[in-house]
């Protein structure tokens, strides 16, 4: 938990309860003319922090990830670079296609799970834990190579049932406040929730540096934090529900440019 969030969290919960009481139960998708990236909703100061590589704290993780990429690991003493080469070329646009369908598992996996699998199967090394500094660093370094690339997740038709499952969760009322993701992000975007503007939930910049966390975090961490605010039980890291939400949200943001590592309030 970060330093100043307890009272903010209480206020957030009160506001969410008011939302739930006043909004209609069926949500409409955002019209294409009104689609905006989460970057557009930020203050000019936070945008400036993200845009300047010397000021963006996410670049500390990117730098760490660059070192890890070349580091030989596991019983095979192989680095990411030994198979994938120079990430600046080989990883270009890759993060914009994740979560991607994994034929072996017959389901989509996100970028973090892809890295974990690579470590297990190709490097024979101990896998990184979710939200560990190493996993976030590698994910940030890979995602950085897609900056500016349009999101392509959803082009693969094998993802369709998973996108549908994610859409169902997104529109489902849940938790003690009995609200859905859509009631905030489809119906009430642009309004304020406590001090912050409710964005449209387009995950273009993950993993991203959240000022509230004072750290980098994954999309799954963000989803769990939202669940907590809805007073619903967060899905565990790697749970199919989290992946389904990730696929749905990325497909929903189709065509938007990636801006990882982003900075968000």
Residues that bind other proteins (CB under 8 A): 3, 52-55, 57, 59-61, 63-64, 211, 214-215
Q: Whats the size of the chain, residue-wise? A: 265
Cβ proximity to other proteins: between 77 and 214 the closer is: 214
Measured from the CB atom, is 37 or 218 closer to other proteins? 218
User: In a 3-state reduction of DSSP, which class is residue 172?
Assistant: coil
Long-range contacts of 219-228 (CB under 8 A, 24+ apart): 219/110, 219/246, 219/249, 220/110, 220/112, 220/130, 220/246, 221/131, 226/181, 227/174, 227/175
Distance of CA 210 to the CA centre of its chain: 11
Q: Which is nearer to other proteins, 55 or 83 (CB)?
A: 55
Cβ 199 to other proteins shortest distance, Å:
22
Shortest reach from residue 2's CB to other proteins, in Å: 9
Burial (CB count <10 Å: 0-12, 13-18, 19+), residue 200:
buried
Give the residue with the Cβ less far from other proteins, 13 or 59.
59
Among 69, 63, 73, 188, residue whose Cα is nearest residue 119: 73
Q: What is the DSSP string of 49-77?
A: HHH-TTT-THHHHHHHHHHHHT--BTTTT
Least distance to other proteins from the beta carbon of 141, Å?
Answer: 12
3 state DSSP class of 197: strand
**Active site residue ranges:** 226
Task: Give the residue with the Cβ less far from other proteins, 3 or 44.
Answer: 3
CB of 66 to other proteins, least distance (A): 10
Q: Could you tell me which residues come within 8 angstroms of residue 106 by beta carbon, excluding any fewer than 6 positions away?
A: none
Minimum Å gap between C-beta 222 and other proteins is: 18
Residue 69 phi/psi, 5-degree rounding, is -55, -35
């Amino acid at each position: 938990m970060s330093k100043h969030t307890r009272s903010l969290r209480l206020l957030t919960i009160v506001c969410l309860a008011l939302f739930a009481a006043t909004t209609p139960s069926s949500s409409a998708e955002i019209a294409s003319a009104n689609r905006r990236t989460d970057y557009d909703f930020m203050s000019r100061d936070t945008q400036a922090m993200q845009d300047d590589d010397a000021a963006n704290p996410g670049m500390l993780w990117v730098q760490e990830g660059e070192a890890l990429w070349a580091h030989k690991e596991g019983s095979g003493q192989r680095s990411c670079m030994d198979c994938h080469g120079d990430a600046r070329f080989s990883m270009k646009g890759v993060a914009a296609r994740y979560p991607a369908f994994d034929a072996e598992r017959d389901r989509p996996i996100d970028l973090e799970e892809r890295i974990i699998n690579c470590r297990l199967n190709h490097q024979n090394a101990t896998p990184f834990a979710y939200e560990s500094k190493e996993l976030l660093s590698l994910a940030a370094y890979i995602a950085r190579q897609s900056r500016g690339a349009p999101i392509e997740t959803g082009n693969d038709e094998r993802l369709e049932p998973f996108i549908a499952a994610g859409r169902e969760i997104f529109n489902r009322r849940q938790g003690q406040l009995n609200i859905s993701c859509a009631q905030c992000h489809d119906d009430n975007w642009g309004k304020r929730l406590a001090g912050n503007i409710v964005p449209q939930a387009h995950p273009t910049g993950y993993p991203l540096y959240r000022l509230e966390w004072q750290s980098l975090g994954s999309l799954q961490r963000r989803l769990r934090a939202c669940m907590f605010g809805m007073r619903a039980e967060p899905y565990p890291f790697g749970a199919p529900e989290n992946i389904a939400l990730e696929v749905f949200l990325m497909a929903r943001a189709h065509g938007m440019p990636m801006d990882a590592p982003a900075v968000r309030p």
